[in-house]
Amino acid sequence: MSRTLAIVFGLTLILPAEVKAGQAEGYSKTVWDGAYTSVQLARGQASFQENCSRCHSDDLSGRNGPALKGDDFFERWREFDVDALFTMIKTAMPPGRRGAGDNRISEAAYLDIVTVILRGNGFPEGQEELTTTNAPRILITGKDGPKPVPSSSLVQVVGCLTQGADKAWMLTNVTEPLRTKKEETSPEELKAAESKPLGTYTFWLANFDYISSDFSPETYKGHKVQAKGYLIRQPNRERINLTALGSIASNCQRP
């Protein structure tokens, strides 16, 4: 199971826009536009009853497992796409029937189960079934639109790597933090980040040794970089506990 996804799901296995427009960039719709059909929901209710209700109860309020609805659940998942929720459930749940073998739940059944969770959190049905193709394009968000991601979220940002007067490292001109599913950064992600305009935020940086024991931020000083890490919100000194950092350009000038 992914350590990152375990954290956001809130399991007992705890392992270690501007906002309005930019946060929704890249998504075709939100959960409020309808992410599943009534027919798919009916299938999902049968699958949920068979595989999930013993731990999470029929009404999703939780029993041996955590609640799958409500404020706490929503706070863990808001500003993620539906695919993140689907991937977590498919990867980790239920303990005795995930993975390979004759007892394995099908991918289609997992998608159907997700619709029950969406419905339980008040998200309406629509005209298209939830699929592995459209799930990454559907954003989980509140009725009033995307909000800044909460503290402790795994995020990705683009900004300028700078060293302050106190020799501490920070990112300046940073984009709005966006949730991400992976701690690592791929070459494809760095390439896609090249065209992202700089933002207006500043974040202090910590945990360079998590990236590598010999990682040297001096190598990227003044660069436009993409950073990933856990966002820590605190007054006057918001920071990112880094998991990855990669250079996008050797200078960091606004166009």
Residues of the chain with CATH 1.10.760.10: 3-139
Superfamily of domain 3-139: Cytochrome c-like domain (1.10.760.10)
Reported as a single tens digit per residue, the pLDDT across 198-226 is 999 999 999 999 999 999 999 999 999 99
Name, in order, each residue with C-beta under 8 angstroms of 29's C-beta and a sequence gap of 6 or more: 35, 137, 138, 139
pLDDT of residue 24: 46
Question: What's the pLDDT band for 6 if we cut at 50, 70, 90?
Answer: very low
User: By C-alpha distance, which of 205, 146, 143, 140 is closest to 176?
Assistant: 146
Q: Which of 16-20, 28-32, 206-210 has the lowest mean pLDDT?
A: 16-20
Q: Which of 37-51, 85-99, 122-136 has the lowest mean pLDDT?
A: 85-99
Please name the CATH architecture into which domain 154-249 falls.
Beta Barrel (2.40)
Name, in order, each residue with C-beta under 8 angstroms of 27's C-beta and a sequence gap of 6 or more: 81, 137, 138, 139
Evaluate whether 226 touches 174 at the Cβ level (below 8 Å). no
CB neighbours (10 Å) of residue 193? Answer: 19
Extract the tokens encoding 10: 């809130």
Q: How many CA atoms lie within 13 A of 177 on its CB side?
A: 27
DSSP conformational letter for 137:
G
Q: Is 193 helix (H, G, I), strand (E, B) or coil?
A: helix
User: By C-alpha distance, which of 165, 157, 172, 155 is closest to 252?
Assistant: 172
Reported as a single tens digit per residue, the pLDDT across 153-167 is 999 999 999 998 889
pTM (2 d.p.): 0.74
Q: Is 143 helix (H, G, I), strand (E, B) or coil?
A: coil
Residues of the chain with CATH 2.40.50: 154-249
Token pair 């065209």 in the structure block, residue: 195
